[in-house]
Amino acid sequence: MTLSLSLPQQGLRRYTSALSPLAWAAVLVVAVVVAVSVFAPALAPYDPDYVDLNNVLAGPGAQHLLGTDALGRDLLSRLMVGGRTSLLGPTLVVLGSTLLGLLLGLAAGWSDGWAGKVLGRAFDILFAFPALLVSMLAVALFGKGLVAPIIAMTIAYVPYVARLTQGLVVSERARPYVQAYRVLGFRTPWVVLGRVLPNLIPTVGAQSALNFGYVLADLAALSFIGLGVQPPTSDWGAMIEESRGALLGGYVLPAFWPALVVVVVVVAVNVIGEEISDRIGGKLS
Amino acid sequence: MSVMDAPAGEPRSTQRHTTTPGRAARPRRLRFVLGKLFSLLLTLFIASLAVFFSRFLVPGDPARFLLRGRSPKPEALVEITRQFGLDKPAWEQYLNWLGGILHGDWGRSLTYRQDVSDVLLNRLPTTLQLVALAAVFITLLGLLAGIIASLNKGFGDRFILVTLTAAGAVPPFVAAIALVALFAVQLGWFPSFGSGDGFLGRVWHLTLPALALGITYIAFVARVTRSSMNEQLVREHVEVAMSRGLTRSSVVVRHVLRNALGPILTVSGVMIAGLLVSSAIIEQTFGLTGIGQLLVQSIDRLDFGVVQAIVMVVVTAFVVVNTVVDLLQPLIDPRIAAGTETR
Amino acid sequence: MSQLLNVQDFTLGFAGRDPLLNGISLHVDDGEAVALVGESGSGKSLTTRATLGLLPERSQHSGTVAVRGLNTLTARSAELLGLRRNKASMIFQDPRAGINPVRTVGDFLTETLVRWRGLSRAEALERAVEQLEQVGLRRASELVHQHPHQLSGGMLQRVMIAAALLDSPELLLCDEPTTALDVTTQAGIVKLLRDEQQARGMGMLFITHDLNLASSLCERVYVLRNGRVVEHGSAREVFLAPQEEYTRQLVGATPSIELDRVPAVPVAVEGEEPILSVDSLSKHYELPHGDTLTALDQATFTLPVGGSLGVVGESGSGKSTLARLVVGLETPSEGTLRLGVVDRPDRPLKARERKLLAKDVQIVFQDPYLSLDPRIAVGHAVADVFRLHQKQGRRQAQDSARELLGRVGIGPERFDAKPRALSGGQRQRVALAKALAARPRLLVLDEATSALDVSVQAQVLELVEELRDQLGLTILFVTHDLAVVSRLCSQVLVMHQGRIVEQGPTARILADPGDDYTRNLIGSRPRPLWDRDVITTP
């Protein structure tokens, strides 16, 4: 007897109870980065925007743990405060797209006939608009900054969650246990929200964790090309952009730190997402 | 396995399937192709609506919107109103725009004072070369890493997997910075700027950008290759092939890799849009004059007509490539056109 | 010449765990057909695969598995290739999974010939066509250009056999080659295998969970349980006079048709409405390409209160569609379906109607692994039904659930267990309890015991009988297995390709079938080799 493993056979608890050491490390990294960002104003040793032209491009030392940038600003402080803008965007996008995607996906998966088909087709069309492109279009329409790109990206990431949810719901509702609920006379909303939805959450959560990494990278890229966060506000992507001049002059550190943080955070959320997805049979893109 | 899908299971009666493929399958195949072409047109149509009417999301006077950042002289306002037909109803504006696009008239760029189509055509080759070179890297390195990982369980697999996880998390712009820092600034092997002359010069100038562009996708393709092959490796038909005395390499090539191609191709198709968009960042970083850089500059210079055109080009490229991929799928897996297997 | 297959004291397992195979010894001589019988997890597949040197990765093993003197446990890979190419061939359980779906049938057949028999593609194809014709496939020259999905399961298994025979093996290994097939198809495959084995003088090792099947094909039998050989001997001895307790149980649990044990048709109460009456009921499906599939065609029958009706048919007969119509999972296309005093509307049911219907009819599905919600503890799942239908509070519902689960043989210690912690048989018991918690009058069992091992199936059937008598349930039992029907159902309805071909009292239909298809169905049941000479064909 071969078991179909396309869906979790059990609840969330099992996924958190036996994480691999690597996944624990990833969770720890994310927790630390989030905590530091939240409390950055209290923790940061310097005002992140304080310009000290007597102390430009200093190496790491007792005064400036990570050194300073081309304007003499403390890199550690900018990094900590920059985490706020850099993480807030992805958080909002992932929350919004997961919620919307779940709702639309459930609706599309559960409705027979044309409604499901129309929604599915709509998701397909949305797929043709990559998130970064949509957010660039949003900037072109509404001006630079993060508000328009965040809204645009939320919409652009909806189909990723919705398509996944729709597929899961369709395969789930064909399963005997869901049919048994119907035959037993349970009401559809109770079955869908109370019984089917919880079974999908680990899979969708894994996808959303992966999405978080993509959004973080995309928003940082947007700031990097000067369309997102505007100077002097600190942001990881913007910090890398500001350091390009110094980089070509041989000063690597001002670009290295924010790049490192971006990569580490993305790796960490990817590891978490993969850990969940591995446990449920690995059906994610 | 499941008996619940009774309706789907029923057509498997003997009578239905003794018909020769030629007679029954040909209209089915034709319908498959026509269906894909229809959905191509539908998607493009709706995409064009979205791209065109996105302008209407901005409140206020459209003429002033289009002229942002430039002196709103009365004659300029009159000119822009005439050029975009802003005094006409929305649907007529759309039809004119669409008609223009279909006839190769993509409007005029406010920045370059040229036809948008000319600006685009000038810059397209650079982008296409960049993406093509990146695609070569992605295909070669991605497939190779995926195959090696899949066939070497244990240490090799884990090592490659960890590397892929790390590589997949490096956003293109970070990769660009890192490659420039290492290979251009420190080692001086590759140029960090410009697109070079002649074929070799081109390749030499495009190597770092293409690698930076491709690194995430290399990891992506490698992962899909690995998991797609792993999925095939445990299939019974692979065990059957082994039991018949086929060598390991024949089994891998004929039964594992061959069957794993479908998902790999699908993923490659989806990647195209991402590559084109990411090339905007890469071109900006490396000072390559492609349409990606044009997109960033046009957003910066508030040249909305050009932005609209580029968005439409990228979306069209994505939809066309994916339709081609969909049409290729039945050649890889004959069950798809027959409708017994859906992806 | 050394013995064809000789397995001595073969043990296999993974480090730190109990061995999967424990000291297995068996042998197969030239021209001999030997069966390896066991339930799931007995290790019969592992043993057969080891014969070809196909061992699970990182497994530890000892003993010898020798084919013509070559120990496959220690042989070099070149020797193993030679063995697989020239000496031994294997036929797998599911031909649809076993033949590469993206390549043509011809490619499958010829790939060995072209690779090391030195034939050109054209010659190889010619040989393949001949072989296909020999295993009983018509229009073989067209078949070789088709893909597996265009062939039926029975045809594919013949292709698989043809491929094995093309290599002219001395030893043919068969791993449950008919389990995925319908019984009438199975009969053809079994005859083909027997004929080929006899004609070519091959040795054959035939793996099956079905004692009946083993005895219809093999002279000698090994009975396997938990990785050990429990008993072996001639098929007739093992079957008729089993020595070991386990074998006795297995023989006892193996379903067989015994006409004197068929339940009697209950005497209909004068004037009482039947619980289920179906008149000219049809169900059509629109297929994606515009064709219409008639899954159920003009079915007409009644089921009296307290009756037990078996619906028998092969895959595609429409029996599952009928079951789904009765429980309201499908909407009729034509005809009437009357349950109790309520006529079924020809539209999807509303929530209120579904809840009312639930009190009348419940269903238990086939697959024990999919029919319970994986996240919900079994006690909770049953209590939910009590709360919905019996308007009980949380406490009371839990008590009721505990009591009912106890009645189906699930003790209170499993009340909080998740389905994954239960065996297949236990899950089906829970599914049964869930259905009964709604206190239905009619219980539909859709192949509810087909996925279970025979000994577990026997227990579950016993439970169903018990509950039927205690609760006065009416039973609609959908199955492919005539023997199960003969045991449980007083009346039977035979379906074929969407139509009811025959219906009536079970005893009458089994003894004296009036329809050719029914006769074929009964005649296709495997019959022991030693019975063949006694029974003359009617």
Partner-chain contact A124 B43, CB within 8 Å = yes
Query: What number of CA atoms fall less than 13 Å from residue B232's CA on the CB side?
Result: 28
| Alpha-carbon gap, residue A215 to A152, rounded angstroms | 11
Q: Spell out a b/e string for B167-205, using b for 16 or more CB atoms within 10 Å of the CB, else e.
A: bbbbbbbbbbbbbbbebbbeeeebbbeebbeeeeebeeb
**Percent of chain C whose pLDDT exceeds 90:** 70
Query: What number of CA atoms fall less than 13 Å from residue C83's CA on the CB side?
Result: 29
Looking at CA atoms only, how far is residue C116 from chain B in angstroms? Answer: 9
Question: CA C464, C467, C473: angle at the middle one, nearest 5?
Answer: 95
Mean pLDDT rounded to a whole number for chain B: 83
> With left for phi above 0 and alpha for psi between -120 and 50, is residue C271 left, alpha or beta?
left
Q: Which residue has the tokens 């797209």?
A: A97
| Alpha-carbon gap, residue C538 to C536, rounded angstroms | 6
Q: Which residue has the tokens 């290492």?
A: B182
- Give me the pLDDT at residue C516, please: 94
- Give me the pLDDT at residue C1, please: 59
Report the SS3 class of residue B12: helix
| Alpha-carbon gap, residue C459 to C465, rounded angstroms | 10
Q: Summarize the confidence of residues C497-516 as an average pLDDT.
A: 93
Residues of chain A contacting residue B324, judged by C-beta atoms under 8 Å apart: none
Q: Where are the beta strands (DSSP E) in C80-219?
A: 88-91, 171-175, 203-208
Mean pLDDT rounded to a whole number for chain C: 91
Residue-by-residue DSSP string for C134-158 = HTT-SSHHHHTTS-GGGS-HHHHHH
Q: Summarize the confidence of residues C475-479 as an average pLDDT.
A: 95
Within this chain, domains C1-87+172-254 and C259-523 share the same CATH topology: yes
- Give me the pLDDT at residue A23, please: 86
- Please provide residue B216's backbone torsions phi and psi, each rounded to the nearest 5 degrees: -65, -40
Give the other-Cβ count within 10 Å of C533's Cβ: 7
Q: For chain C, which residues make up each domain, given as ranges? A: 1-87+172-254, 96-168, 259-523
Contact status of C527 with chain A (Cβ, < 8 Å): no
| Alpha-carbon gap, residue C481 to C484, rounded angstroms | 6
Mean pLDDT rounded to a whole number for chain A: 84
- C158: CB partners within 8 A, 6+ apart: C132, C135, C136, C137, C189, C192
Contact status of A202 with chain C (Cβ, < 8 Å): no
Q: Would you state the structure tokens that stand for residue B133, as one six-digit string? A: 């070179």
Contact status of A203 with chain C (Cβ, < 8 Å): no
pLDDT confidence of A6, banded at 50, 70, 90? Answer: very low
Q: Which residue has the tokens 């001895």?
A: C237
In this predicted structure, the answer to whether residue B7 has a pLDDT above a threshold of 60 is no
In this predicted structure, the answer to whether residue B190 has a pLDDT above a threshold of 60 is yes
| Alpha-carbon gap, residue C93 to C134, rounded angstroms | 21
- Please provide residue C298's backbone torsions phi and psi, each rounded to the nearest 5 degrees: 55, 50
**Percent of chain B whose pLDDT exceeds 70:** 90
Nearest C-alpha neighbor of C496 from the set C477, C513, C479, C518: C518
| Alpha-carbon gap, residue B327 to C3, rounded angstroms | 54
Q: Are strands C361-364 and C442-446 parallel, antiparallel or unpaired?
A: parallel
Which residues 416-475 of C have a C-beta within 8 angstroms of B? Answer: 446-447
pLDDT confidence of C235, banded at 50, 70, 90? Answer: very high
Nearest C-alpha neighbor of A247 from the set B181, B209, B212: B181
Cβ contact C68:C153 at 8 Å: no
Largest Cα separation within chain A, whole Å, is 78
**Does the structural domain C259-523 have CATH classification 3.90.79.10?**
no
Closest residue of chain B to A218, computed from CA coordinates: B171
Quick: pLDDT tens for A84-135: 988 999 999 999 999 999 999 999 998 877 888 899 889 988 888 899 999 9
In this predicted structure, the answer to whether residue C266 has a pLDDT above a threshold of 80 is no
Q: Summarize the confidence of residues A41-61 as an average pLDDT.
A: 81
In this predicted structure, the answer to whether residue A76 has a pLDDT above a threshold of 60 is yes
Partner-chain contact A250 B177, CB within 8 Å = no
Residues of chain B contacting residue A263, judged by C-beta atoms under 8 Å apart: 166, 169-171, 174
- B160: CB partners within 8 A, 6+ apart: B145, B148, B149, B152, B222, B226
Largest Cα separation within chain B, whole Å, is 83
Lowest mean pLDDT among A163-177, A185-199, A224-238, C49-63: A224-238
Looking at CA atoms only, how far is residue B131 from chain C in angstroms? Answer: 31
DSSP secondary-structure letter at A2?
P
- Give me the pLDDT at residue B3, please: 32
Cβ contact C177:C191 at 8 Å: no
Q: Summarize the confidence of residues C292-301 as an average pLDDT.
A: 93
- Give me the pLDDT at residue A282, please: 43
Of C370, C372, C385, the CB nearest to A184: C385
- What type of residue is B181? A
- Give me the pLDDT at residue A281, please: 52
Which residues 364-383 of C have a C-beta within 8 angstroms of B? Answer: 365-367, 370
Q: Would you state the structure tokens that stand for residue B66, as one six-digit string? A: 């289009």
Nearest C-alpha neighbor of A75 from the set A230, A238, A213, A227: A238
In this predicted structure, the answer to whether residue A10 has a pLDDT above a threshold of 60 is no
Of A3, A8, A183, the CB nearest to C358: A183
Report the residue count for chain B.
343
Q: Which CATH superfamily is domain B116-341 in?
A: MetI-like (1.10.3720.10)
* Residue with more model confidence, C65 or B182: C65
| Alpha-carbon gap, residue B300 to B307, rounded angstroms | 10
DSSP secondary-structure letter at B108?
B
Q: Summarize the confidence of residues B327-339 as an average pLDDT.
A: 82
Quick: pLDDT tens for B13-44: 333 333 344 445 567 778 888 989 999 999 99
Question: CA B99, B101, B104: angle at the middle one, nearest 5?
Answer: 110
- Give me the pLDDT at residue A28, please: 93
Q: Would you state the structure tokens that stand for residue C303, as one six-digit string? A: 């089921």
Give the B:C interface size as CB pairs under 8 Å: 137
In this predicted structure, the answer to whether residue A3 has a pLDDT above a threshold of 50 is no
Q: Would you state the structure tokens that stand for residue C492, as one six-digit string? A: 């039977």
In this predicted structure, the answer to whether residue C99 has a pLDDT above a threshold of 60 is yes
Q: For chain A, which residues make up each domain, given as ranges? A: 67-279
> At C62, which helix (H) or strand (E)?
strand C60-67
Partner-chain contact C351 A187, CB within 8 Å = yes
* The CATH number, out of the four listed (3.40.605.10, 1.20.120.640, 3.40.640.10, 3.40.50.300), of the domain defined by the range C1-87+172-254: 3.40.50.300
| Alpha-carbon gap, residue B16 to C472, rounded angstroms | 43
Report the SS3 class of residue B209: helix
Cβ contact B225:B260 at 8 Å: yes
Q: Would you state the structure tokens that stand for residue C535, as one six-digit string? A: 């029974």
Q: What counts of helices (H) and strands (E) characterise chain B?
A: 17, 0
Quick: pLDDT tens for A153-210: 999 999 999 999 999 999 888 889 999 999 999 998 999 999 999 889 888 988 898 8
- Give me the pLDDT at residue C198, please: 93
Q: Would you state the structure tokens that stand for residue C362, as one six-digit string? A: 């419940």
Quick: pLDDT tens for B272-289: 878 888 999 999 888 888
Quick: pLDDT tens for B164-174: 888 888 888 88
Q: Could you name the CATH architecture of A67-279? A: Orthogonal Bundle (1.10)
pLDDT confidence of A71, banded at 50, 70, 90? Answer: confident
In this predicted structure, the answer to whether residue B10 has a pLDDT above a threshold of 50 is no
Q: For chain B, which residues make up each domain, given as ranges? A: 23-102, 116-341
| Alpha-carbon gap, residue C196 to C166, rounded angstroms | 12
| Alpha-carbon gap, residue A93 to A79, rounded angstroms | 21
pLDDT confidence of A2, banded at 50, 70, 90? Answer: very low
- What type of residue is B219? A
Of A8, A176, A184, the CB nearest to C370: A176
Q: Spell out a b/e string for C449-487, using b for 16 or more CB atoms within 10 Å of the CB, else e.
A: bbbbbbebbbbbbebbeebbeeeebbbbbbbbbbbbbbb
> At A46, which helix (H) or strand (E)?
none
- Give me the pLDDT at residue C194, please: 93
| Alpha-carbon gap, residue A93 to A152, rounded angstroms | 9
In this predicted structure, the answer to whether residue A4 has a pLDDT above a threshold of 50 is no
